[in-house]
Amino acid sequence: MFDNVFGIHEQALLLHGQRLSVLANNMANADTPGYKARDIDFTEVLASANGAGNGDAPLALSTTSPAHIAPATGDFMTGDLKYRNPYQASLDGNTVEMAVEQAAFSENNVRYQASLGFINSQISELQFVIAGQ
Amino acid sequence: MSLFSVFNIAGSALNAQTIRLNTTASNLANSESVDGDASKVYRARHPVFQTMMDSPDASSADPDGAVAGVRVLGVVQSTTEPVKRYDPNNPVANKDGYVYMSNVNAIEEMTNMISANRSFATNVEAINTARDLLLKTIAMGH
């Protein structure tokens, strides 16, 4: 029962944590010539994690033989890094646009805290049920 | 834990921007330096940044080599020719009465300083955000 108590939020938290460091990297390399800004497409990762939309566990593989080995379910939501398309190209080949990165960073910050909030409310729900009052 | 890597990444950027500020300070301090010999006069120094790559790691988000911050590859000297000025009363003037001015461009240095300042502040903000999120994560369930 407790395996799936946090639902998608646990994985979302990990992904947002990962995206935070990717965006921090972009900002750290804002003045590095030739650096290409990167990001994780959250929507795409979520879609792939949800698989073909069967109500089953995300990314479940259909097993047609008992000899098939179940896939590891640990970190299925690791996002592929994509390169960002700059709004305005710069002469030194750097594609980091500080305003874009800062906006994405604070958006990711809010989403991380939202996931955290969902998990926290799940925990207090469980505590409420366990305590029975 | 990827949130902890923000400290390393943004920390490396703080270090790089500090070096940039130091070279700017050095350049501005020497902007009026003169010498009788063109090869000995102070030349503007500029750091060159490079992206640091982690060793390829299959478990990381990017198996081709996860990025982990920025470092200063080296400090290059400006190749702009120093301006020659006739100043026979200057004690360092050469036998023809000329001195060579340092090739520091004060405007360029000031814009560099502002840029370094902004980048530094942004990375401090990234560290603060990561710290807040970590503290909230640690307090999960309380």
Q: What is the pLDDT of residues B10-26, one digit of tens each?
A: 999 999 999 999 999 99
Reference A104, options A46, A40, A11; nearest CA is: A40
Subunit contact A123:B140, Cβ cutoff 8 A: yes
Residue A74: pLDDT band (50, 70, 90) is: very low
Residue pair A22/A39 in contact (Cβ under 8 Å)? The answer is yes
Token pair listed for A115: 């996931």
ipTM of the complex: 0.79
Mutate to test the interface with A, among B8, B15, B49 (most CBs of A within 10 A): B49
- From residue B60, give the alpha-carbon distance in Å to each of A32, A109, B64, B65: 23, 21, 9, 8
Which of A83 and B57 is assigned the larger pLDDT?
Answer: A83
Minimum distance, in Å, between the CA of residue B93 and any CA atom of chain A = 39
Subunit contact A20:B1, Cβ cutoff 8 A: no
- B10 contact residues in A (CB cutoff 8 A): 24, 27-28
Task: Tell me the percentage of chain A whose pLDDT exceeds 70.
Answer: 80
Reference A42, options A91, A3, A82; nearest CA is: A82
Q: What is the pLDDT of residue A61?
A: 64
pTM for the predicted model, two decimal places? 0.79
What's the whole-number average pLDDT of chain A?
81
* B residues 16-35 closer than 8 Å to A (CB): 16-17, 20
What residue ranges do the domains of chain B occupy? 5-140
Rounded Cα gap, residues A19 and B12, in angstroms: 18
How confident is the model over A41-48, as a mean pLDDT?
Answer: 77
Q: What is the pLDDT of residue A75?
A: 47
Q: What is the pLDDT of residue A59?
A: 55
Residue A77: pLDDT band (50, 70, 90) is: low
Subunit contact A98:B118, Cβ cutoff 8 A: yes
DSSP SS3 for B95: coil
- B115 contact residues in A (CB cutoff 8 A): 31
N-terminal to C-terminal alpha carbon distance within chain B:
21
Runs of H (alpha helix) within chain B: 2-29, 106-138
pLDDT at A8 over 70: yes
**B136 in A contact zone (CB under 8 Å):** yes
Closest residue, chain A, to B116 (C-alpha)? A31
- Provide the β-strand partners of residue B86: B98
Q: What is the pLDDT of residue B142?
A: 78
Rounded Cα gap, residues A19 and B9, in angstroms: 13
* A residues 82-121 closer than 8 Å to B (CB): 98, 102, 105-106, 109, 112-113, 116, 119-120
Q: What is the pLDDT of residues B45-104, one digit of tens each?
A: 999 999 887 655 544 444 444 567 899 999 999 988 888 989 899 898 888 999 999 999
**A126 in B contact zone (CB under 8 Å):** no
Q: What is the pLDDT of residue A54?
A: 41
Q: What is the pLDDT of residue A43?
A: 78
Give me the torsion for CA of B66, A45, A107, A26, rounded to 10°.
Answer: 20
- From residue A15, give the alpha-carbon distance in Å to each of A20, A49, A77: 9, 12, 7
A111's CB contacts (< 8 A; 6+ apart) are A12, A16, A42
Residue pair A23/A108 in contact (Cβ under 8 Å)? The answer is yes
For residue B70, which phi and psi values (nearest 5 degrees)? -135, 150
- From residue B109, give the alpha-carbon distance in Å to each of A30, A90, B30, B32, B114: 18, 20, 11, 13, 9
pLDDT at A130 over 60: yes
**A18 in B contact zone (CB under 8 Å):** yes
